[in-house]
Amino acid sequence: MKVLVINCGSSTFKYQLIDMDTETVLCSGLVERIGEQQGMLSYKGHPGTDRERKFTLEQPFPDHRAGMNAVMKLLTDSEKGVLKSLEEISAVGHRVVLGGEAIRESCLMGEKEKRIVAELSELAPLHNPANLQGIDVAQQLLPHAPSVGVFDTEFHSTLPAKAYIYPLPIELYEKMRIRRYGYHGTSHRYVTQQAAAFLGKDVTEINLITCHLGNGCSITAVENGKSVDTSMGLTPLEGVMMGTRCGSIDPAALLYLGTRKGLDFPELEELINKKSGLKGICGLNDMRDIHAASEKGDEKAKLAVDMFCHSVRKYIGAYYAVLGRVDAVVFTAGIGENDDVARAEICDNLEILGIAVDAQKNAVRSGSPRDISAPNAKVPVLVVPTNEELAIAQETMRVLSMQ
């Protein structure tokens, strides 16, 4: 069975076609700048397939439908494509960001489910409308293939009330559902399963602190395989410092900027989402560039790295206290998987918690799950590559098998 995985943003979408019999990626790519004068489609046929190649196309894509149409054409192109017919696609798995309290599990996206996702757009205006658009277009272009929604929030549906209710007037939760939802759930769940397999433990008995550190960053406390606390909140802005997002700050700072300095809501939104985090401190948001600048003596770049690592360490400490017993600390996503310098700094001086990183093991680069902890450390520190697309495809298969 072949599953097409779609992850839509407002002017982009990522796609990946996976043969689920062998869990092999047949091709993947990205459509960018949808709605702009010139759009771009990148396509990568994967190594090991007989259509292994990589190229980009530049042309306007007025909307998601046009972009998706171009991808469908490529998939079945007689020279470049990996399919003879679109009928070979058995299902489409969609990343959907916010399922709220109404959708707590991956599900077939019928009219009722789409309506719920649309209603939740108010709380996730950057993501849910785009996700919904992807579902509509896929249903139009591939009417034979069921669409399954896999929600970023679903892994966190097990949070206890004490972790998800904000200390605001309770009516805001009761009437408006203002609460912590948590994000990156597909990744946290995937690395939880991978870490359990790596350690030879039953996933229902494992306690972990999972650190998804990419452009967006979130930390999750996993107890007996379930999310019991997580750093992102109502939106993906809360928690640790990120590439361009500030993470948790004193909310009164925004009130001050609004009431005393005259910044309006769109300006504040841009400030905390796009101009803050690593970028706000040193002008750069890619950790590779920041390390390079720091090595050249850029003090603000060094400060940005120190602040980032400090904010992750604080969550590790906090979630250690939440869990009591920790079977492993897990690093994943762009920074978590690749940045040995950040991992070492985050875990520095945590021997008291049984956490210590071995310098040599930490420096090894690999695409496989690995243990980088020091020989005598009580708590394994693991690097586990995430694979959200495969996780979405697996969930899609699971939902279909239950029909």
CB closer to ligand ADP out of 157 and 285: 285
- Per CB under 6 A, does 334 bind ligand ADP? yes
The only residue of 5, 25, 307, 335 in contact with ligand ADP, by rule CB under 6 A: 335
Active-site residues: which are they?
Answer: 152
Q: With respect to ligand ADP, which residue has the nearer C-beta, 113 or 152?
A: 152
Q: Is 233 in the site for ligand ADP (CB under 6 A)?
A: no
Report the residue number whose CB is nearest to ligand ADP.
Answer: 334
Is residue 216 close enough to count as binding ligand ADP by CB under 6 A? yes
Amino acid at 165: I
Burial of 295-329, coded b for 16+ CB within 10 Å and e otherwise, reads eeebeebbebbebbbebbbebbeebbebbeebbbb
Residues contacting residue 217 through CB under 8 Å, at least 6 positions apart: 211, 231, 239, 240, 241, 242, 247, 312, 333, 335
Q: Is 74 or 301 the residue whose CB approaches ligand ADP more closely?
A: 301
| Closest approach of ligand ADP to the CB of residue 304, in Å | 11
Out of 182, 214, 277, 280, name the contact with ligand ADP by CB under 6 A: 214
> Of the ranges 22-30, 263-271, 327-335, 377-385, which one interacts with ligand ADP (CB under 6 A)?
327-335
- Given the complex with ligand ADP, which of 180 and 212 has the nearer CB atom? 212
Q: What's the closest the beta carbon of residue 85 comes to ligand ADP, in angstroms?
A: 32
Residues in the interface with ligand ADP (CB under 6 A) total: 12
By CB under 6 A, name the one of 26, 316, 333, 357 that touches ligand ADP: 333
Q: Which residues, in sequence order, are bridge partners of residue 222?
A: 208, 227
Q: Considering the rule CB under 6 A, would residue 243 count as an interface residue with ligand ADP?
A: yes
DSSP string, 7-26: EE-SS-EEEEEEETTTTEEE
Taking CA atoms, 206 is separated from 73, 118, 190, 223, 323, in Å, by 45, 35, 13, 6, 11
Q: Which residues bind ligand ADP (CB under 6 A)?
A: 214-216, 243, 286-288, 333-335, 338-339
